[in-house]
Amino acid sequence: MANKLGKVYISASFNNTLVTITNEKGETITWSSSGNVGFKGTRKSTPFAATSALEKAVTKAKEKGVEEVEIYVKGPGPGRDAALRAIRASGVKISSIADVTPIPHNGPRPKKHRRA
């Protein structure tokens, strides 16, 4: 079963970077994270760890037939840009890049003011 089109979901938090590659239906083909590659503690949150996690996931996906990807990036972490550079260097074709970071529109009600 050759899935030519894939979707790459990158979740970059301040502590870790998670990568999931799915087919066009949303079924997971492969996944990886900075911790899964072998980094522990504060080194998980580095751009290099994110690059390593992405390279591992993309090589597995290429073995399963993925040639073109759509990228969805979520979160403010340091692995965002490094992950995008790693995908570009890996040789798969990028059809689109979208930032799906959740942004609160007004958010919850604030605390009541402290009396003096």
The answer to whether the beta carbons of residues 51 and 68 sit under 8 Å apart is no
- Which tokens hold the place of 74? 């979520």
CA distance 91 to 56: 13
Give, in degrees to the nearest 5, the angle at Cα 12 between 76 and 27: 135
Global pTM value: 0.87
Please list the pLDDT of the chain residue by residue as tens digits (116 residues): 566 899 999 999 999 999 999 999 999 999 999 999 999 999 999 999 999 999 999 999 999 999 999 999 999 999 899 999 999 999 899 999 999 999 989 888 999 999 98
- The topology (CATH level 3) of 5-99 is Nucleotidyltransferase; domain 5 (3.30.420)
Residue 11, beta-bridge partner list? 18, 74
Element (H, E) at 51: helix 47-63
